[in-house]
Structure 1
Amino acid sequence: MHSLGLCVNKVAFNPLITFVQIHVYNKQKNLSFPLRLVKKIADAVIKLENQSCDELSIYFVTPLVISQLHQQYFNDPSTTDCISFPMDTNKHGEGPEKYRILGEIFVCPQTAFEYAKKHSGDPYEECTLYIVHGLLHLMGYEDTERKKKLIMRKAEKKHMVNLKKLNLLLLPK
């Protein structure tokens, strides 16, 4: 028996540890990767940013779907890498509504594939960057102004370095 009380499979139950529900939906066939790895990537970014998050959804979609979303919500019919929709702005889960849904991210792996091919890069690493980029938008980072964009790029770099150290870049299935 551990000092925290309950012991399940020799691991102490700690009521202070929260678990994030990360829903991952793959609606495309351009890049294949383990969905559980996407959850680990998102969890690592959330933890490093010290964000409160109870729930998050990540969708991998086709160029057609991402361009339709881009048109509908941003009045721009072009294909893009990712789109984020923040839900709860309560950053640290304070107040009467402590459950925090961070939001939804839509990622287009085909865009990652095309960009990587054009720039002699790795499409899986590029797609990982899109996940990080989308998460940072959900956490309040912006890239609309030069100064804010530099801050966001620095955060992206920090997370990509951390994910590489943790061996958490997307890989083929």
Structure 2
Amino acid sequence: MTTEVINETTTPIDATEFTALADYVLAAMHVSPMAELNILFIEPEPMAELHERWLDLEGPTDVMSFPMDELRPGTAENETPPGTLGDVVLCPQVAAKQALEAGHSAVEEMLLLTVHGILHLLGYDHAEPEEKEEMFALQRTLLLTFLAERGK
């Protein structure tokens, strides 16, 4: 996998951790190892601009996904073709507020949001209750498995 982590904020980001997470999720979803992904961390103001421009909603949000080649999950027998998955854009300041409310660290929140964003790039959504149940269960499983394996 080619994952580029770009931090345009003053928040310290462990690029190695986010790259490892992305590689883990993409491998688990049987995405070609030749796929490309960008993870971008930005300040609240540019995130608010993206949020308004693309979703017509005011204020910064936690994560947004911008798919490129519309790759979908593969299978063990048939992984996705190589291509550009797209961009996951996160706002650490919004994530930190959400983490405080949820009772975990900002890093844990950003890792969760990264998985969430990657799943959106792979075509998952949560507009309908069934979609939400499937997507949120999958993101939880992927994140917890990644964290458990990294803890070894």
Task: State the TM-score, normalized to the length of structure 2.
Answer: 0.88
Q: CA separation in 1, counterparts of 2:67 and 2:41?
A: 17
| 2:96 alignment partner, one of 108, 113, 133 | 113
User: Helix, strand or coil for the counterpart of 2:150?
Assistant: coil
Q: Which amino acid aligns with 1:166?
A: E
Q: Select the structure of larger CA radius of gyration.
A: 1
1:47 matched residue in structure 2:
27
Q: Which amino acid aligns with 1:24?
A: V
Q: Which amino acid aligns with 2:149?
A: L
User: Helix, strand or coil for the counterpart of 1:25?
Assistant: strand
| 1:155 alignment partner, one of 119, 138, 151 | 138
Q: Which amino acid aligns with 1:23?
A: E
Structure 1 runs, 4 residues or longer, greater than 6 Å off: none
Offset at 1:157? 0.9
Note the aligned Cα RMSD (angstroms): 1.4
Structure 2 alignment gaps of length 5 or more: 73-79
Structure 1 alignment gaps of length 5 or more: 1-19, 94-98, 169-173
Q: Does 1:86 align with 2:67?
A: yes
| 1:29 alignment partner, one of 10, 23, 32 | 10
Offset at 1:90? 4.3
| 1:129 alignment partner, one of 93, 108, 112 | 112
Q: CA separation in 2, counterparts of 1:136 and 1:158?
A: 12
Cα separation, partners in 2 of 1:149 and 1:129, compared to 1, 3 Å: same
Q: CA separation in 1, counterparts of 2:30 and 2:71?
A: 13
Offset at 1:118? 2.5
For these two proteins, the number of residue pairs brought into alignment is: 143
1:56 matched residue in structure 2:
37
Q: Percent identity?
A: 29
User: Helix, strand or coil for the counterpart of 1:39?
Assistant: helix
Q: CA separation in 1, counterparts of 2:70 and 2:6?
A: 23
Task: State the TM-score, normalized to the length of structure 1.
Answer: 0.78
